[in-house]
Amino acid sequence: MSQERRRKGITVAAVQAAPVFLDVEKTMDKVEELVAEASRRADLVVFGESFVAGYPLWGGVIPAIRQHTFYEELVASSITVPGPHVDRLSALAERFDASISIGINELAPNSTAQVFNANLVFDRRGRLVNHRRKLVATWYERLTWSHGDGYDLQPVQLDDCMVGVLICGENTNTLARYTLLAQGEQIHVASYPPAWPFEQRKGKPEYDLVDSIRLRAAAHSFEGKVFTVVAATALDAAAVEHVAQGDEDIVRNLTGTPTATLVVGPRGDIVAGPLVGEEGILYADLDPGESVSLKLAHDIVGTYNRFDVFRLTVNGTRHIPVTLVGDGPTSTQVVGGPSGRSPFAEPSGSMTGGFPAPAPLECP
């Protein structure tokens, strides 16, 4: 977006699109096309959960003993941070002058097969300003993804706004949501999958993914007096066929829980969308100043809280597999931590509400 179009607030583009399932190179090409399109109108382009390069749809519809090949394909299409695909995303943000939030399957730096559900945020200069791993994989996702940690559980400054991100079920985690709000979050990004089959028992309702997304977005926006930008990954026929392989029951289960993309205002009202199931881009002009008068009633990180009664401590360190201690020129070597930053460094902004953070553990 050009300089003359910038103003107080932010224009967001919530992308609901299907990746090229488990093909990272073709998916990256599609990311470039979508960023090129969305950046014509938007300052911030938001993609859904594990967009690069696909959500593990098989987890809920295929028995665990038949999932090995799918997992091998997912590992082969996962990316490392840092790495060449991250460099390409960085270049796209700088080239198109737009911030980007995008979900990825991240291959751990210390393992040939450990994968995290991660989200990356790049500012318009192309800097990677936030790198989060989903705290807890949900239900059958645990057959695919490892648990993350509290590293980078903080909003970041994008233009005039503090933007925070949570992945899918994290938006049900009250403490995670409060942690972002308590650090000044004004725009909340919530990423979601293309489908989430859950219930097959007769007489029991299937999981309504669209309504669940709407409820969570409205709850966070209303409680925190923030905007919530929901971006979901779309489901295309190629992904369904790849997983179902002609099994009509699997096709029915995968297509029976469509997803949704929408934008919710600080009153809990939908201001854009919902876009249900199909591919498309939603745009919205967001002014965080709308929350000021609303906080007269409830400011849960300010006057509507009792900090003498409640306290929250967040461990923001990155999980690492080993710390080597020796007598060489560099006496301590951290293996598996994020490049360029100490995994024991405190993220910017208070993570403890004024209380000391827990000391990191080191294993000699």
Catalytic residue numbers, as ranges: 49, 134, 168
Helices (H), the chain: 24-38, 68-76, 84-96, 174-181, 209-224, 237-244, 248-255, 291-294
Whole-angstrom distance, CA of residue 159 vs CA of residue 9: 8
Sign of CA dihedral 94, 98, 101, 104: negative
Q: Is residue 206 classed exposed, middle or buried when 0-12, 13-18 and 19+ CB atoms within 10 A define those classes?
A: middle
CB 89 within 8 A of CB 122: yes
Residue 246 CB neighbour total at 10 angstroms: 7
Whole-angstrom distance, CA of residue 288 vs CA of residue 292: 8
Task: Kindly state the tokens that stand for 215.
Answer: 């409820």
Strand partners, 261: 275
Whole-angstrom distance, CA of residue 142 vs CA of residue 125: 35
Residue 129's H or E segment, with its range, is: strand 128-133
Q: Which residues 6+ apart lie within 8 Å of 231 measured at CB?
A: 14, 15, 16, 46, 47, 48, 101, 189, 190, 191, 192, 261
